[in-house]
Amino acid sequence: MSAHSFDFIIIGGGTAGLVLANRLSEDPTQRVLVLEAGSDLTGDLRIITPAFFQILLESKADWAFQTEPQLNLKGRRIGLNQGKALGGSSAINSHIFIPPAKSRIDAWESLGNDGWNWDVLRKYYARAYTSPYVDEASKKALSIDEWAARDDSTRGPIQTSFSGDVSHPIRKAWVEAFKASGYSIETDPFLGASVGGFSALASIHPGTKERSYAASAYYTPVKHRHNLKVYTDAAVEKILFDGEQPPKAVGVQYKHNNKTRAVYATREVILAAGALQSPKLLELSGIGNSKILESHGIEVIQDLPQVGENLHDHPGCYISYEAADDIETLDALIRREPEALGEAMKQYAADRSGMLSSLGIYSYAYMPLPKCHPTEDRDNLLGLLRQNRASIKDGPDQARSELFHDLAKKTLLNPNDASGVYVAVLAQPAPIIEPNSETPKGPLPGKFFTFGVMLSQPLSRGSVHIGSDQVSVPPIIDPNYISHPIDLELLARHVQYVESIAASPAFKRILKQPLRRRDPSLDITNLEQAKDYVQSNASSMWHFCGTCAMLPKEKGGVVDTELRVYGVRNLRVVDASAIPLISTASLQATVYAFAERAVDLIKETHGLK
């Protein structure tokens, strides 16, 4: 194999990048190169052991970015974790493997992306993962025994399981609590989720109880293919173009072992560096807003002002309650108690069971606006939407904003569509402590159960752009969290509703009675208090997307429906940055499916097997 030329060069050996590498190298005639800035940590116990998730954050495996100060979160900078290792963020995430609501994917098509809908994409979800076998007794414990159907067609590389203690009482209590409130999911969410509570899959191998992720599932089984090459610790500096019009991507300049090198692509360069890094690399390569590029002395190859815009993410908050004494939680691990940690390590080494086999995130719920009054609340929210429609000048920004507002008007008040997502966590989180706050610093003694609440369909939009012409300088990231008033309104209402779920009969044996919050001073009785809590405590769920959006160019797009960058040839973007509208909750499963579909588009273009 030539050291200087490949058919395909993939920038980024992360979640999407390794899907592309595996599938494109299935054809032995195609030479595929992957350039990954991080290291190969496939044997690292911190990555493969599920409960060691927290240890990975801000480690060598994490880019550990920070936002600009967030005006609507009381000036706080928010930590943004993104995987810097082979496997990308799939190597350091919290293992959640859940689908979006059907309506969320169908919305992609309504935004102007013909052929991108749930009916098309569902088979690509099935291609990415394998659903676990579950016996009848376990189905009952998981509260999936009444599902009308399960998706048993899945035969993909990612191995999933209902991780941890299948019989933990939180699983049934969670589903019962939401069902009692009138919200029930009647079938496998991967067959088309709507609203209600359910036991969530995790990307944890049901046999080995180890993390199943892009590196272990997509790369390791095919790493010895003669036509596949992966360079780790290889920092891409820029994409190379010829001098023709329209410009054609012909290769990549990167640094490896302290030497700057160039490598060339005979077919395509595929950018898969993630929602925070792909726009950065486009800008460093001369594709982006010409004003930004010229301010850093970068030659403009293609003026594409929407690069780095449309950044959005799920903001979320946590509320914890004291758990009953006989309920198993992971708080001892959170406190890093030597005796508990030692015992857990022995148990995991012996039979892959115990506290280290799971992160303790067992259940999810997709929820519409809770307790929505059919006239008063609806009128108030529609009023907020009307008042805050984009007021900027005409152009792609205006067009894109109008699209998302029109979509929000249809979905946010739909009782069968999620505006919020709730998650069950068997431990206390590390809370955000404001100066002079009465909130106790943690982790505290005792056992806790935590409700995580995230905003499912935020309207706030931010940006990510270069701050220098040097690849080593982190991008300037401004998600602009909660800048749209309706986001604050909705997230605050969902936070308030947590108390109703916690107080439901289903939780009486899970939580100490009367309810005892971890933070006794927390008061979210009225909506203004709940809004203040959101602004003081909301943080990122690390589900960034949209910064190289697949949209019509006149509506703010960066790539077309074939994921080709507008105005240049032989260059695609295949990662979360191209996803135009955020998934209902965790993005992991959707990024795998997105990349699987991209493979078929690329193969079709070149007539490959």
Among all residues, which ones are annotated catalytic? 543
Report d(CA 26, CA 222) in Å as an integer. Answer: 9
Give me the residues paired with residue 431 across strands: none
Asked if residues 69 and 265 have their Cβ atoms less than 8 Å apart, the reply is no
Annotate 240-251 with DSSP letters as a single string: EE-SSSS-BEEE
Closest CA to 300 of 282, 317, 281, 287: 287
As a residue count, the chain comes to: 609
Q: Which residues contact 35 (CB under 8 A, 6 or more apart)?
A: 9, 10, 11, 12, 13, 231, 234, 236, 252, 254, 263
| Nearest-10 Cα torsion for 359, 365, 366, 369 | -120
Asked if residues 589 and 128 have their Cβ atoms less than 8 Å apart, the reply is yes
CA distance readout (Å), 310 to 17, 71, 523: 22, 18, 34
Half-sphere exposure of 1 (CA within 13 A, CB side): 19
Q: Which residues contact 204 (CB under 8 A, 6 or more apart)?
A: 50, 95, 159, 160, 161, 163, 210, 211, 212, 357, 358
Give me the residues paired with residue 101 across strands: 193
Q: Which token pair is 159?
A: 């191995």
Q: What are phi and psi of 424, to 5 degrees?
A: -95, 125
HEC per residue, 262-307:
EEEEEEEEEECCCCCCHHHHHHHCCEECHHHHHHCCCCCCEECCCC
Asked if residues 265 and 241 have their Cβ atoms less than 8 Å apart, the reply is no
* DSSP at 76: B
Asked if residues 557 and 62 have their Cβ atoms less than 8 Å apart, the reply is no
Angle at 355 between CA 514 and CA 342, to 5 degrees: 115
> What Rg value do the Cα atoms of the chain yield, rounded?
23
Report CA torsion sign: 180, 184, 186, 188: negative
Q: Which residues contact 119 (CB under 8 A, 6 or more apart)?
A: none
Asked if residues 544 and 71 have their Cβ atoms less than 8 Å apart, the reply is no
Report d(CA 65, CA 71) in Å as an integer. Answer: 18
